[in-house]
Amino acid sequence: MLTNAISSSTNRPRTHNTMATRGSPRDRAVDKGIKLFPDLQQEFKLPYRLVFAYLQIKSYLAKNKPSRPSDEATMLMTEFEMVCTHRKPPKKIISISYKALTQAPDQGRETHIQTWHKELGKTITMEDWAKAYSSHKGVSSCATRIELQQKLLYRWYLVPARIHQIWPQPPDTC
């Protein structure tokens, strides 16, 4: 009975899933969604330890799903990448490219900078931020120490002032 159902279903014409009705290859890739991890494992010979990274990416895409499927492909692109991948090149492409390459990113909007400004009670100039970002370079050859300084700067770890706000009195064991 199952073989009859399979053989009869393959004889039906496929009108709803043809290449002509589906759009561009990028649109088709977006419509499919993210592949399952076992499929990716077989296709790219991925070790099982990457399953958590896969789940992180999958949950990020689920939370930040755009309103239109075509936006999903360009969701993580920079402005310069969008110009480069545009189907019809815009006018003044050289001016747009030069502006995108030379324009400094708007770093005042970054949350870690705003949090430092609020916690310290004063505004730090972009020159001082540049010094803070580059101060660890050449000081140590220890990658762990450099990574720790970057994590403190980007507020991935709690700074001493924040720890003191949470636990005002140090424990007796310290």
What's the alpha-carbon Rg for the chain, to the nearest Å? 25
Q: What is the predicted pLDDT for the residue at 147? A: 79
Is pLDDT of 113 > 70? yes
The model carries a pTM of 0.32
Q: What is the predicted pLDDT for the residue at 153? A: 78
Q: How many whole angstroms separate alpha carbon 5 and alpha carbon 49?
A: 39
Q: What angle do CA 126, 129, 130 make, to 5 degrees?
A: 90
Burial of 69 (0-12, 13-18, 19+ CB in 10 A): middle
Average confidence score pLDDT of the chain: 70
Burial of 135 (0-12, 13-18, 19+ CB in 10 A): exposed
Q: What letters, b where the CB count within 10 A reaches 16 and e where it falls short, cover 93-128?
A: eeeeeeeeeeeeeeeeeeeebeebeeeeeeeeeeee
Q: What is the predicted pLDDT for the residue at 23? A: 44
Q: How many whole angstroms separate alpha carbon 166 and alpha carbon 164?
A: 5
CA distances from 97 to 88, 91, 102 (A): 15, 11, 9
Q: What is the pLDDT of residues 46-96, one digit of tens each?
A: 899 999 989 988 888 877 765 555 555 555 667 677 777 777 777 887 887
When comparing pLDDT for 83 and 21, which is higher?
Answer: 83
When comparing pLDDT for 34 and 106, which is higher?
Answer: 34
Q: What is the predicted pLDDT for the residue at 15? A: 41
When comparing pLDDT for 159 and 161, which is higher?
Answer: 161
